Structure 1
Amino acid sequence: MYITQGLHRHLQQRPNATAIRFLGRCMTYAELGDRVARLAGALQQLGVARGDRVAMLSLNSARCIEYNLAVPWADAVVNPVNFRWSLAEIIYSLDDSETTVLIVDETFKALGAKILEQAQTVRQVIYAGEGETPEGLLNYETLIAETAPVQDARRRGDDLLGIFYTGGTTGFPKGVMLSHNNLFFSATASLAAGRFGADAVFLHAMPMFHLADFAAMASLFITGGTHVVLPAFTPQGALEVIAKEQINEILLAPTMIQMMLDWRDSHADARDLDLGSLRSVTYGASPITPALLDRARAAFPSAGFAQGYGMTELAPIATTLEAKFHTPEHQASGKMYSAGMPACCVEVAIVDAEDHEVPRGTVGEIVVRGPNVMLGYWKKPEATAQALRNGWMHTGDGGYMDTDGFVFVCDRLKDMIVSGGENVYSAEVETAIASHPAVAQGAVIGIPSDRWGETVHAVVVLKPGASVSEAEIAAHCRERIAGYKVPRSVEFRDALPLSGVGKVLKTELRKPFWDNHNKGIA
């Protein structure tokens, strides 16, 4: 199994089919295959050898897809760079992985020049933009035009496919090592769940450095659907591209869905956009509140909804909640708001601190094993041993499994609030807050308390024009959850701090409260 396998199949059987649509331009599978083989040859001529790391720092583009295929074609290893990071974090990831070649687009060409000066291992930077090539950088299109295509090395199986750095907000990131098998099994799990069909016109709206989008790309290359690429997500841009390109499948983080619905509700002309082509919306990367899911289903009535729960270390899928569970029946039972059931070829269990499986309905740590589990953390054997214990990947997520095998995610274990000896799961409180009609977003953290150890603190973003008091938020929650879980304090903000894929950065929310206290905020 190897990541370029699907490309070879479509080069043989349907070379003139459309592979990519980007900024009004179309590329067939034949054209894509030729460019990938030439880029691989250029990398080899630059000295990239078996197993070397090649990075890309770029907004979404057709060239990102070419990079993801050409690097393994050249027998090398991908290292997509999170463009949300600071320069120090980016250089750390490049030096840590011993990356030798970096590709940058127009947006990051100046940063690429700085990296070439400051990084220890990067010896060449390739400019993949439309303007004049900066001094000291190589030109992407020139390399492709002047290099003959090479044969695919067919890097495969347990060979390292990529180092996908995760974190970077609480210290330097860790490099997750994923093999071709890891990604291939995760891709087939998505296909088994009924997504990414051969007729799929899929919109890459998530950032392509994120593994969720990479896995979607891998699935789509197996079936031969069409990749439509959005350079950077905006709610208006995403909705307009869905209408213009007749997108039928999309992957979004819940915050993206929230932004799209808010923009659509606040712009009368947006309701004229034809979104009827949209048949499948997959949501993931962070939890979704029942209120937002209900709102999204009402806004996109022609679409089936599905969820994927996982993490980078799981390539990334652990469980799936298929569209067939998004029905009134499963809404009433509560299963529609679960993370679903273990994905194809994946085992999931809920365990206690001694790794013993707990009874159904009991909260514990979610652990996973299967062919999707990472090879380990790059150059971090202790962290690898801590995460991969007793044959299971320990996710750090708290959750429980019901009697039918559905997994419910409660919280990150490190985000659990212990108030007066009682465990409070922030996700449960956030769900109660989000059901208030004035609330757009909410995040819940624990803050220091001399009496209780921690108390529940809510940070709330209101909908445009809405007004609500702290007391009203507390009263609303008290009708829905136990009294000890109700926020003791509420802070109103214009926006929540978010990561590049829309996860709330609770570390940033906690810092002002915990900087002078003993509790860690990692």
Structure 2
Amino acid sequence: MPTIPSTLRATARRVPETVAIKFGDYSCTYAELDAEVDRTAHALSDLGLCRGDRFALMATNSDRYVVAFYAALRVGAVVVPVNPGSAAPELQYLLSDSGAKILAYDLAVAGTVDAARSGFPESLGDIVALTEGSDDLALTSLAAKSATGEFEDVPTEEDNSLILYTSGTTGKPKGALFDHHRTIWVAVGCALNTGQKVGDRFLHVAPLYHAAELCIMLVPGTMVGATHVIMAAFDPVPVLDCLESEQITMMFGVPTMFQFLLRVGLLDRDLTSLRTAMFGAAPMPASAVVALTEALPNVDLMQLCGQTEGGPGGIYASVDQVRARPDASGRQATMFAEVRVVDPVGNDVANGEVGEMLLRGEGVMKGYWNKPEETAATIRDGWLHTGDLTKVDADGYMTLVDRLKDLIITGGRNVYSVEVESVIAAHPDVVDVAVIAKPHELYGESIVAVITLRDGGSMTLAQLQEFCSDKLSHYKIPHDMVLGAIPRNPSGKILKHKVRSGLLV
């Protein structure tokens, strides 16, 4: 089986003149990209980066991100993508936990890198900037002075490729470890599931450090020979401009991105080139899914629902399934994967019941980096225990209703926060919502809705309860309401532990 960098080499030989990357005014062909990756691999090797070493990459989306990513893998290193929005203590933790030998960063995060330097672990060797403009060595300059010619791919499919840190919605992130075999299987499955092909033009606006954008867009897109149109950050109007001007055929975005696009004039744009749009990484309210399908009637809108630990992988819904059941999370497992929904003793749940989603397949992680106990608790008998509570309908649709850790038990009855959040999110004055539990002396837990209102909007607890009264059973209706901002990670997932800590202070 090929490795991640060898697929770039193969594409460069198959379609050398195809444009590989467009970033602002810069563009390069696949032959040029492969040659630049070779030069950068020589530079990294000269710094002492070897097979199995960890290479931390902290950068916003750019052409240099792609070059550094493939070059480190070509050397045989394990890439550790770091959220460029990380604070100094978070960066220190990831470098220490991963045992990174080299940190590469772009100038946009230089301030964070400088603030964190005093706490960098002793295991960290070189610190390099992707481009010139700092006091650190610049990878572009090193590559320009390095040897020319092909750098022979070092890794095999069994070698480790990525440590993808989980979003840390319940605490400190854990590193999900993958080898090339697993990452390639995920890429092949995604290419087949979504119809990726040579000649496609991908828009990369979701962050490349994120498992979804990296593993289901960049890696398979490079494998098939797509053109990667890269934007540094999400801004709805420029994104719409890019979709039009660059004739984008495929994109992935988190739900909030699509909701912003709807608000700034999606209906007024010529998006006839857009064939497939995928959303995932966080739930999208059914009302928003309906609005999106109506706004994009000729686009294959697909929902992807999974976990970083799954490759990322899990379940998905095709365009017809999304239109038929906008409230569901998916209908079947992603390619080369299996899914079960089980009760606490491991039996498959009956239709209409709720259980935990389990995953098994070629793309599931090897385990958590240096965390054998957590690995053993999560992967049991070959099945990844996701912690996602899922309802299975008679027609096979699956809907994530909560995380095991977020289940609310009030008066002895189970309340799934996602169900309540979906109802509240449909209120016209609500921009964002998180539903959590608060200790209650009589009922065990009471239900609290934390709500962000639109500008000029207003709501009282009584009005909220009235809105929910004909949409939820009475015991699921919030007992309390707090107005404020909802903390989310860059993937769009609600940071429930931060919501709770803010509420209980």
Shorter-normalised TM range: over 0.9
Query: Which whole-Å deviations, capped at 9, do the CAs of 1:187-229 have from their partners, x for residues lacking one?
Result: 1221222343323211111111110111111111121111111
Aligned residue for 1:395, secondary structure, equals: strand
Cα root mean square deviation, aligned: 1.9
1:303 alignment partner in structure 2: 299
1:42 alignment partner in structure 2: 43
Once residues 41 and 238 of structure 2 are traced to their aligned partners in structure 1, the CA distance between those partners, rounded to angstroms, is 32
Tell me which amino acid in the other structure corresponds to 2:406. D
- The 1:64–1:274 alpha-carbon spacing in structure 2 relative to 1, beyond 3 Å, is same
**Quick check: 2:5–2:70 contact (8 Å CA) kept in 1?**
yes
2:355 alignment partner in structure 1: 364
Tell me which amino acid in the other structure corresponds to 2:331. G
Query: Which whole-Å deviations, capped at 9, do the CAs of 1:454-475 have from their partners, x for residues lacking one?
Result: 1111122233444443322212
**Quick check: 1:116–1:122 contact (8 Å CA) kept in 2?**
no
**Quick check: 1:397–1:411 contact (8 Å CA) kept in 2?**
yes
- What stretches of structure 2 of length at least 5 have no aligned partner? none
2:137 alignment partner in structure 1: 138
- The 1:247–1:465 alpha-carbon spacing in structure 2 relative to 1, beyond 3 Å, is farther
- Higher mean alpha-carbon deviation, 358-367 vs 383-392, is at 358-367
1:325 alignment partner in structure 2: 321
2:500 alignment partner in structure 1: 510
**Quick check: 2:328–2:397 contact (8 Å CA) kept in 1?**
no
2:95 alignment partner in structure 1: 94
How far is the alpha carbon of 1:504 from its aligned partner?
Answer: 1.6
Once residues 114 and 230 of structure 1 are traced to their aligned partners in structure 2, the CA distance between those partners, rounded to angstroms, is 26
1:279 alignment partner in structure 2: 275
1:518 alignment partner in structure 2: none
Once residues 444 and 118 of structure 1 are traced to their aligned partners in structure 2, the CA distance between those partners, rounded to angstroms, is 36
- The 1:164–1:338 alpha-carbon spacing in structure 2 relative to 1, beyond 3 Å, is closer
Alignment partner of 1:51 is 2:52: yes
Tell me which amino acid in the other structure corresponds to 1:319. I
Alignment of 1:110-189 (within 5 A): 110-119=111-120, 120-129=122-131, 131-134=132-135, 137-148=136-147, 149-168=149-168, 170-189=170-189
2:244 alignment partner in structure 1: 243
Once residues 311 and 226 of structure 1 are traced to their aligned partners in structure 2, the CA distance between those partners, rounded to angstroms, is 26
Once residues 184 and 132 of structure 1 are traced to their aligned partners in structure 2, the CA distance between those partners, rounded to angstroms, is 35
Query: Which whole-Å deviations, capped at 9, do the CAs of 1:345-389 have from their partners, x for residues lacking one?
Result: 111111122222222332111111111110011111000000011
Once residues 411 and 451 of structure 1 are traced to their aligned partners in structure 2, the CA distance between those partners, rounded to angstroms, is 23
Alignment partner of 1:314 is 2:294: no
Once residues 200 and 298 of structure 2 are traced to their aligned partners in structure 1, the CA distance between those partners, rounded to angstroms, is 15
- The 1:172–1:460 alpha-carbon spacing in structure 2 relative to 1, beyond 3 Å, is closer
**Quick check: 1:6–1:224 contact (8 Å CA) kept in 2?**
no
Alignment of 1:281-430 (within 5 A): 281-327=277-323, 330-331=324-325, 337-430=328-421
Once residues 419 and 437 of structure 1 are traced to their aligned partners in structure 2, the CA distance between those partners, rounded to angstroms, is 28
- Higher mean alpha-carbon deviation, 191-200 vs 85-94, is at 191-200
Once residues 470 and 277 of structure 1 are traced to their aligned partners in structure 2, the CA distance between those partners, rounded to angstroms, is 45
Alignment of 1:57-72 (within 5 A): 57-72=58-73
Tell me which amino acid in the other structure corresponds to 2:124. V
Once residues 483 and 248 of structure 2 are traced to their aligned partners in structure 1, the CA distance between those partners, rounded to angstroms, is 36
Tell me which amino acid in the other structure corresponds to 2:424. I
**Quick check: 1:440–1:461 contact (8 Å CA) kept in 2?**
yes
- Higher mean alpha-carbon deviation, 45-54 vs 253-262, is at 253-262
Aligned residue for 2:386, secondary structure, equals: strand
Query: Which whole-Å deviations, capped at 9, do the CAs of 1:32-87 have from their partners, x for residues lacking one?
Result: 00011111111111011111011111111111111221111111110111122221
Task: Work out the number of aligned pairs and report it.
Answer: 501
How far is the alpha carbon of 1:237 from its aligned partner?
Answer: 2.8
How far is the alpha carbon of 1:170 from its aligned partner?
Answer: 4.7
Alignment partner of 1:500 is 2:487: no
- What stretches of structure 1 of length at least 5 have no aligned partner? 265-269, 516-522
- Selected match of 1:475 from 466, 490, 504: 466
1:488 alignment partner in structure 2: 479
Once residues 409 and 168 of structure 1 are traced to their aligned partners in structure 2, the CA distance between those partners, rounded to angstroms, is 19
What TM-score do you get using the length of structure 2 for normalisation?
0.94
Q: Percent identity at matched positions?
A: 34
**Quick check: 1:290–1:431 contact (8 Å CA) kept in 2?**
yes
2:5 alignment partner in structure 1: 4
Once residues 434 and 391 of structure 1 are traced to their aligned partners in structure 2, the CA distance between those partners, rounded to angstroms, is 37
**Quick check: 2:267–2:295 contact (8 Å CA) kept in 1?**
no
How far is the alpha carbon of 1:286 from its aligned partner?
Answer: 0.7
Once residues 395 and 328 of structure 2 are traced to their aligned partners in structure 1, the CA distance between those partners, rounded to angstroms, is 14
- The 1:322–1:154 alpha-carbon spacing in structure 2 relative to 1, beyond 3 Å, is farther
**Quick check: 2:166–2:174 contact (8 Å CA) kept in 1?**
yes
1:106 alignment partner in structure 2: 107
- Higher mean alpha-carbon deviation, 456-465 vs 91-100, is at 456-465
How far is the alpha carbon of 1:9 from its aligned partner?
Answer: 2.0
How far is the alpha carbon of 1:341 from its aligned partner?
Answer: 0.7
Aligned residue for 2:243, secondary structure, equals: helix
Once residues 372 and 360 of structure 1 are traced to their aligned partners in structure 2, the CA distance between those partners, rounded to angstroms, is 27
Once residues 405 and 204 of structure 1 are traced to their aligned partners in structure 2, the CA distance between those partners, rounded to angstroms, is 32
- The 1:433–1:171 alpha-carbon spacing in structure 2 relative to 1, beyond 3 Å, is closer
How far is the alpha carbon of 1:407 from its aligned partner?
Answer: 2.1
- The 1:296–1:395 alpha-carbon spacing in structure 2 relative to 1, beyond 3 Å, is same
- The 1:95–1:102 alpha-carbon spacing in structure 2 relative to 1, beyond 3 Å, is same
Alignment partner of 1:77 is 2:78: yes
Aligned residue for 1:196, secondary structure, equals: coil
Aligned residue for 2:194, secondary structure, equals: coil
Tell me which amino acid in the other structure corresponds to 1:88. P
Aligned residue for 2:374, secondary structure, equals: helix
Once residues 452 and 480 of structure 2 are traced to their aligned partners in structure 1, the CA distance between those partners, rounded to angstroms, is 14
What TM-score do you get using the length of structure 1 for normalisation?
0.91
